[in-house]
Amino acid sequence: MTPLLEIQNLHASVEEMSILKGVDLTVHIGETHAVMGPNGSGKSTLAAILAGREDYDVTGGSVFYQGEDLLEMDVDERAREGVFLAFQYPVELPGVSMMNFLKQAVNSVREHRGQEPLNAASLLRLARRNAELIHLDPSLKKRSVNEGFSGGEKKRNEIFQLAMLEPTLAILDETDSGLDIDALRSVADGVNALRTPDRSFVVITHYQRLLDYIIPDFVHVMVDGRIVKSGGKELALALEERGYEWIREETSAVPA
Enumerate binding residues for other proteins (CB under 8 A).
51-53, 74-76, 78-80, 84-85, 87, 90-97, 100-101, 104-105, 108-109, 112, 144, 161, 165
What's the rounded Cα separation, in Å, for the pair 159 and 98? 14
Which of residues 96 and 237 has its CB atom nearest to other proteins in the complex? 96
Residues in the chain: 256
Contact assessment for residue 157 and residue 140, using Cβ atoms and an 8 Å cutoff: yes
Strand partners for 69: 64
- CB-based contact 99:123 (threshold 8 Å): yes
| Helix, strand or coil, per DSSP, at residue 68 | strand
- Which CB atom, from 48 or from 188, has the smaller least distance to other proteins? 48
Residue 21 or residue 78: which is nearer to other proteins going by CB? Answer: 78
The secondary structure of 45-81 as a DSSP string is HHHHHHHT-TTSEEEEEEEEETTEEGGGS-HHHHHHT
- Cα–Cα distance, 104 to 87 (Å, whole number): 19
CB-nearer residue toward other proteins: 21 or 156: 156
Pick between residue 7 and residue 50 the one whose CB is nearest to other proteins.
Answer: 50
Gyration radius of the chain's alpha carbons: 18
Closest distance of CB 103 from other proteins, Å: 10
- Give least dist CB 116 to other proteins, A: 16
Closest C-alpha among 126, 198, 133 to residue 159: 133
The nearest distance, CB 145 to other proteins, in angstroms, is 8
SS3 call for 255: coil
Q: How far is the CB of 39 from other proteins (least distance, A)?
A: 21
From the CB of 70, what's the least distance to other proteins, in Å?
13
